[in-house]
Amino acid sequence: MEESEQSLDQQSGQKVDQRPRNRPSYREIIEADTSPVSSILALTSNPAQSQADIPFEHYVDDDFFAREMGRMWPRVWQIACREEHIPEIGDYAVYDIGRYSIIVVRISSEEIKAFHNSCLHRGTKLKPSDSMGTTQDKIQCPFHGWTWNLDGTLNEVPCSWEFEHLDYDQNRLREVLVDSWNGFVFVNMDVDSAPLLDYLEVLPEHFKQWRFEDWYVAVHVRKHLHCNWKVAMEGFMEAYHTPVVHPEMCQVVGDWNMQHDIFGDHVSRDLCPMGVSSPSLDQPLTQEELLNRARPGSAAMSDLGVANLSAGQTARSVMAQEARQRFQGEYGLDLSSHSDAEVIDSLKYNVFPNLMFSGGASKHGLSIFRPDGFDTNKAIIDRYSFLPVPKGQPRPEPAEVFVIAEDESYMKSPDLSANDASVLDQDTSIMRWQQEGMHASAKGAETLSSYQESRVRWLHETLKKYVDN
């Protein structure tokens, strides 16, 4: 470190590092790329926030959890499944959130309906939790056999002479709102809610050029965790932890350079540059070293030898060019209109409360975070990875879910790379410690960094608007 980058702390007499460690900014990194900056990635938005501590009550208190369950979850748009999960009339999928259960049914080639998954006779779930399949042209309760048509009208009650007092019209299945965006089927239990597209704020505009519709679910991994659902999600909303939790990534990921944007109550994002060294390193890698270690496929980011860069090339420009060639060769997909950043960087959009989309030209993904049952201290992460439907070929079937128990490693999944599994294990193993530490806390609250953890604060600010109103 240069002497000029240090100053003396007046009280301690110690030398203090004065370098702004989140520089260069993400914006500066993409402006130095060899391709023009995408207008969507050029946007920045990080409004001023209160810097007050956030009480651990939000994560560990059963009463707060009950308020979330009563005031928040029934009033927000959530993803229940993909359209490709229910392609035929009569196909259904069940989505559970806490004590609620929603059954989503395709009733025509154009229309999907969603109902509370509870019988109007004596309450039995009509379809098992988390199940998918076909119900053909009727939905029948597995207890006494009351039966509904796909549009929710009551079709048949066994021993109907015993139910002369029953109003058939009043005993339609109770509907919830349902709408689709980019092939995702969303539901909302608040029938007076704002429409989905309004709720999604800037998301539809930003994803116009990164559409999911010609991509399919190639991998679906579900992990059970011992932590609150927000602990699980917030672990993926900042990269402040990278040098400690993922030290091996620092050579090739600009963790502290990440840009954090907040667009409204429901949508925020982070943009993380690949192919640059973390500002936490005292000795960043050279462009050649970066290219060697950051290329996809370079096993465990190991040194593969010396890369040759021509004049004007950077590690990022070569990584982007190689990705474009790979996508053209493997899927017939032309990524030439996309900037280098759109092709290689990690561009994650969070939609309140529990969705995290990976955007960009070459990465399409979705993680859904939710409580595991009605338990403050348990969570589930569903992680979907998408691949392009190869040109001229039929759409592959969506991947079946692969379930990983709380005490098992992501390495168990045959579909995740060893590198991805290792990073996910690092992230999720800390979550139990955090949850237990919050219970053990004498301070009772967390103190967040002003910028790198601003989206964690955003989550709680929006959450408060729901649970307090």
| Pairwise CA distance, residues 339 & 70, whole Å | 44
Restricted to residues 396-455, the positions that interact with Fe ion (CB under 5 A) are 427
Taking the complex as a whole, the smallest distance from the CB of residue 74 to ligand FES amounts, in Å, to 23
Q: Are 383 and 373 in contact (CB under 8 A)?
A: no
Q: Distance (Å, rounded) from C-alpha 333 to C-alpha 364?
A: 14
The closest of 178, 200, 44, 185 to 115, measured between CA atoms, is: 178
**Of the listed pieces 18-26, 118-126, 163-171, 323-331, which binds ligand FES according to CB under 6 A?**
118-126
Q: Point out which span in 11-19, 121-129, 227-235, 264-272 binds ligand FES (CB under 6 A).
A: 121-129
Q: Which is nearer to ligand FES, 3 or 169 (CB)?
A: 169
Nearer of residues 172 and 246 to ligand FES, judged by Cβ = 172
3-class SS of residue 275: coil
Cβ closest to ligand FES, residue 146 vs residue 186: 146
SS3 (DSSP) at 91: strand
115 binds ligand FES (CB under 6 A): no
Q: Classify 439 in phi/psi space as left (phi over 0), alpha (psi -120 to 50) or beta.
A: alpha
Instruction: Answer with the entry of Fe ion, ligand FES, none that 233 interacts with (C-beta below 5 to 8 A by kind).
Output: none
- # residues contacting ligand FES (CB under 6 A): 9
**DSSP state, residue 299:** G
Looking at this protein, which amino acid is placed at residue 178?
Answer: V
The two three-digit tokens of residue 145, written as one number: 């056999």
- Residue 427: name its binding partner from Fe ion, ligand FES, none (Cβ under 5 to 8 Å by kind): Fe ion
Question: Considering the complex, what minimum distance in angstroms separates the CB of residue 246 from Fe ion?
Answer: 6
Residue (120 or 233) nearer to ligand FES, CB: 120
Instruction: Kindly state the smallest distance separating residue 241's Cβ from Fe ion, in Å.
Output: 6
What minimum distance in Å lies between the beta carbon of 124 and ligand FES?
4
Ramachandran region, residue 370 (left: φ > 0; alpha: ψ -120 to 50; beta: rest): beta
Q: How far is the CB of 121 from ligand FES (least distance, A)?
A: 4
| H or E segment and range at residue 465 | helix 454-467
Angle at 79 between CA 220 and CA 335, to 5 degrees: 65
Query: CB-based contacts of 129: which residues, under 8 Å, 6+ apart?
Result: 94, 96, 101
Phi, psi at 302, each rounded to 5°: -80, 165
Q: Is the peptide bond before 128 cis (omega within 30 degrees of 0)?
A: no
Cβ nearer to ligand FES, comparing 139 with 368: 139
Residue 248 is a binding residue for Fe ion (CB under 5 A): no
The residue type of 290 is L
Give residue for tokens 């039929």.
Answer: 394
Could you say whether residue 318 binds ligand FES (CB under 6 A)?
Answer: no
Per-residue tokens: 279: 């500002």
Give the shortest CB-126-to-ligand FES separation in angstroms: 8
Nearer to ligand FES among residue 63 and residue 162 (C-beta): 162
- Number of residues located near Fe ion, criterion CB under 5 A: 1
Stretch that binds ligand FES, among 142-150, 246-254, 271-279, 313-321 (CB under 6 A): 142-150
**Which of 463, 451, 460, 461 lies closest to 44 in space, CA to CA?**
451
Instruction: Say which entry of Fe ion, ligand FES, none residue 199 contacts (CB below 5 to 8 A, set by partner kind).
Output: none
Among 71, 121, 224, 412, binds ligand FES (CB under 6 A): 121
**Options 42-50, 117-125, 204-212, 435-443: segment touching ligand FES (CB under 6 A):** 117-125
Could you give the CA distance from residue 409 to residue 420 in angstroms, rounded to a whole number? 11
Task: Work out whether 141 is an interface residue with ligand FES (CB under 6 A).
Answer: yes
β-sheet bridge partners, residue 357: 349, 366
Of 384, 392, 388, 454, nearest to 413 by C-alpha is 384
CB atoms within 10 A of CB 316: 27
| Closer of 116 and 121 to ligand FES (Cβ) | 121
Per-position b or e across 128-144, b if 16+ CB within 10 A of its CB = eeeebeebeeebbbeee
Binding of ligand FES at residue 40 (CB under 6 A)?
Answer: no
Q: Where are the alpha helices (DSSP H) in 403-468?
A: 418-440, 454-467
Near ligand FES by CB under 6 A, which window of 104-112, 141-149, 335-343, 358-366? 141-149
Q: Does 143 bind ligand FES (CB under 6 A)?
A: yes
Nearer to ligand FES by C-beta: 22 or 118?
Answer: 118
Residue 15 lies near ligand FES (rule: CB under 6 A): no
374 binding ligand FES? (CB under 6 A) = no
Given 124, 153, 325, 328, the residue binding ligand FES (CB under 6 A): 124
What residue 391 binds from Fe ion, ligand FES, none (CB within 5 to 8 A, per partner kind)? Answer: none
Residue ranges that bind Fe ion, judged by CB under 5 A:
427
Residues that bind ligand FES (CB under 6 A): 119, 121-122, 124, 141, 143-146
